[in-house]
Structure 1
Amino acid sequence: MSTLTANPSDPPLELLLEFPDNRLLIELCGEFDRNLAQIEHLMSVQILRRGNMLAVLGEARAEAGEVLQKLYERAEAGRSLDPGDIDAVVRLGNSAEGTGARDGDQIELFRGDAGDHIEIRTRKKTIEPRTQAQQAYVRALYANELAFGIGPAGTGKTYLAVAVAVNQMINGHVDKIILSRPAVEAGERLGFLPGDMKDKVDPYMQPLYDALNDFLPGKQLAKLIEEKQIEIAPLAFMRGRTLSNAYVVLDEAQNATAMQMKMFLTRLGQGSRMVITGDPSQVDLPRGVTSGLSEAERILGHIDGISFNYFTAKDVVRHPMVARIIEAYDADDPAK
């Protein structure tokens, strides 16, 4: 555990942090001090190494000191300190909260042993929400039978939903996972794709395969798909089905028509949970066709058991440039 002290010679300008375990301090700093450089960039501070101490200078030195303390505690607990983890700790700051889940035994599925962070455990990796909006979204996924995640690209809406789906299946809460998207071209004419039906629709579904590959070993994933415990299919294939004891995710829901959205929502069967994700700013439907996501948001907003979670450019967890691009487009949109 580190100790936090102010430098008596110049208390307004510098904060000193002492770390007793030099090995953990090296891990905290990262190779060539890259972790410190990332914190300096994110928080506009300067961090200097002095033996087993770090000196933090700048207006946000107190906040940066808290971040360094939390990262050191992560290292003590044997948890990772990759750039995404550092970004998450900086974004979340002191906002540690409870999970808000209703089912006591489910809380242990995604809370850390210390109870101060949320995590989703899958076969290949453990995922932690990186922003307050992501934390609220994950709580909603565990607490509600029907949840909506609405916001721009790169905010983790689909990624977190698929992670929770895998977590729920491997822990026996559902029997299968069903992932779907509308097969709508994003402003291009792709023509007639070669191959059988799977070959034709797989390009539209590739982002869902990418997410699953992050959470399940390749052979296990292939076996689950072969045995139909995991299904990935276009939205049109859902008509006439009743989806029971399943975790169902509809991605890119802004490209579902109003009729398709109603059809999909009414597939929900006993023992199932459903997540709808989408970005209202990226509708690829023909002009004049109402987005089913916008209509569902208007009609279902007051119904108990349905949650709506919203993301902004501040929640983007891809490359930082993505957030700046989204903010620039939003600023240029006369409707906003």
Structure 2
Amino acid sequence: MEASKIRLTVPEGIDPSRVLGAGDGVLRALENLVRAHVVARGDSVAVSGDPDEVELVARFFEHAFREADAGRTLSADDVSRCLAVLRDGEHDASSLRDDVLLSYRGRVIRPKTLGQKRYVDAIRSSTITFGLGPAGTGKTYLAMALAVAALKRHEVGRLILTRPVVEAGENLGFLPGTLEEKIDPYMRPLYDALFDMMDRERTDELMERGVIEIAPLAYMRGRTLSDAFVVLDEAQNTTPEQMKMFLTRLGFNSKFVITGDLSQRDLVGRRGGLADVEKILGRVDDVAFSHLERADVVRHALVGRIVEAYDAYDDVREQRSRDRKESR
């Protein structure tokens, strides 16, 4: 196949450094991810190589030009995420500018990867959504951002955040304090995320009024959760009975989001509530399953490498176990 060549010009009025990144970081990241040669001189960008890749790079720069014109500069991390969207073809790269929430600190919360965008779309379009994937993929954070946004738009009257209390090394009975004080450390990650999105004083006021509730999963029993956006976190630590109990709490004008990572179960020797739930509910209308992958990890880059290393280690152990069984 013949190589293709094109030359792009940075539109007038746009600083090329906004397009190419600090120290040409965007340009270097781009060249590492495509089968094309990209050279920038002044306001001109020359691209040569595989025709499909050249077209991909052209579409990338169209997006980069629009971002720069809006006063935004892409980062090296943005390059890989943008290319993933463009290669997939399902969404335009601008879909990653799908603002979910503007936090009280003025920070925009939005999906950063194609997987996250699909997850956000699933939550918006389904009454019950399961967000499954490894640590750092934004499962809980995005769900909570959508919940806060729904509360602010008065789409629901309550926000309920819950998670199972699973004792990991310490027995609750031996911890100091009242029941609430003993449970608080288990709920702390939900508080932290909430306080990152809403003013502390306003959040405390809404919690006192019962508009926002953060409580253990056991507290959901016997209730009907109507007019509420409910997020169940760490669902891999539920039992099948708890999962059924929770799902049947659904009331009118409510939305449920269940997040979990099957690789981080703290229930020893017991089957988890997420183990078979997709087999049971996979064909039920208005129930969505969104699977996030290692590519959707948006914490520190090292988190992604740690997840990948553990997955590789587990794969080797499973293969060795299968080999031993076959050799018997």
Q: What TM-score results when the alignment is normalised by the length of structure 2?
A: 0.82
1:326 to 307, 314, 317: 307
Q: 2:95 and 2:115 mapped to 1: Cα distance?
A: 18
Q: 2:31 and 2:219 mapped to 1: Cα distance?
A: 50
1:126 to 108, 114, 129: 108
1:52 equivalenced with 2:43 (yes/no) = yes
1:81 to 70, 74, 81: 74
Question: Does the 8 A contact of 2:96 with 2:117 survive in 1?
Answer: no
How far residue 185 of structure 1 moved from its aligned partner, in angstroms, is 3.8
Q: 1:38 and 1:225 mapped to 2: Cα distance?
A: 45
1:221 equivalenced with 2:221 (yes/no) = no
How far residue 96 of structure 1 moved from its aligned partner, in angstroms, is 5.9
1:316 to 291, 297, 304: 297
Q: In percent, how many aligned pairs have the same letter?
A: 43
Q: Comparing 291-300 with 57-66, which one deviates more in the overlay?
A: 57-66
Q: 2:293 and 2:127 mapped to 1: Cα distance?
A: 24
How far residue 23 of structure 1 moved from its aligned partner, in angstroms, is 4.0
Q: Secondary structure at the match of 1:202?
A: helix
Q: What is the CA deviation profile of residues 241-267 of structure 1, one whole-angstrom value per residue up to 9, with x for unaligned ones?
A: 221111000011010011111111111
Q: What is the CA deviation profile of residues 264-289 of structure 1, one whole-angstrom value per residue up to 9, with x for unaligned ones?
A: 111111111101111112211021x1
Q: 2:127 and 2:67 mapped to 1: Cα distance?
A: 33
Q: Which runs of 5+ in 2 are unaligned?
A: 320-328
How far residue 65 of structure 1 moved from its aligned partner, in angstroms, is 3.3
How many residue pairs were aligned?
311
1:161 equivalenced with 2:167 (yes/no) = no
Q: Secondary structure at the match of 2:262?
A: coil
How far residue 81 of structure 1 moved from its aligned partner, in angstroms, is 3.1
Q: 2:8 and 2:303 mapped to 1: Cα distance?
A: 34
Q: Secondary structure at the match of 2:274?
A: helix
Q: 1:301 and 1:80 mapped to 2: Cα distance?
A: 40
C-alpha spacing 1:16/1:121, structure 2 compared with 1 (3 Å): same
Q: 1:227 and 1:238 mapped to 2: Cα distance?
A: 18
Q: Comparing 241-250 with 83-92, which one deviates more in the overlay?
A: 83-92
Question: Does the 8 A contact of 1:183 with 1:235 survive in 2?
Answer: yes
Aligned equivalent of 1:151: 133
1:34 to 11, 14, 25: 25
C-alpha spacing 1:50/1:129, structure 2 compared with 1 (3 Å): same
Q: Which runs of 5+ in 1 are unaligned?
A: 1-10, 100-111
Q: CA RMSD in A?
A: 3.0
C-alpha spacing 1:330/1:20, structure 2 compared with 1 (3 Å): same
How far residue 212 of structure 1 moved from its aligned partner, in angstroms, is 2.0
Q: 1:48 and 1:131 mapped to 2: Cα distance?
A: 27
Q: What TM-score results when the alignment is normalised by the length of structure 1?
A: 0.80
Q: 2:117 and 2:297 mapped to 1: Cα distance?
A: 13
Question: Does the 8 A contact of 2:14 with 2:68 survive in 1?
Answer: no
C-alpha spacing 1:95/1:78, structure 2 compared with 1 (3 Å): farther
Q: 1:64 and 1:84 mapped to 2: Cα distance?
A: 16
C-alpha spacing 1:45/1:156, structure 2 compared with 1 (3 Å): farther
How far residue 27 of structure 1 moved from its aligned partner, in angstroms, is 1.8
1:299 equivalenced with 2:280 (yes/no) = yes
Q: Comparing 136-145 with 125-134, which one deviates more in the overlay?
A: 125-134
Q: 1:24 and 1:221 mapped to 2: Cα distance?
A: 41
Aligned equivalent of 2:58: 65
Matched letter for residue 216 of structure 2? P
Q: Comparing 239-248 with 80-89, which one deviates more in the overlay?
A: 80-89
Which is richer in helix? 2
C-alpha spacing 1:120/1:61, structure 2 compared with 1 (3 Å): same
Question: Does the 8 A contact of 1:24 with 1:72 survive in 2?
Answer: no
How far residue 156 of structure 1 moved from its aligned partner, in angstroms, is 1.7
Question: Does the 8 A contact of 1:96 with 1:117 survive in 2?
Answer: no
Question: Does the 8 A contact of 1:122 with 1:166 survive in 2?
Answer: no
Q: Secondary structure at the match of 2:267?
A: coil
Aligned equivalent of 2:271: 290
Q: 2:277 and 2:224 mapped to 1: Cα distance?
A: 20
Aligned equivalent of 1:203: 185
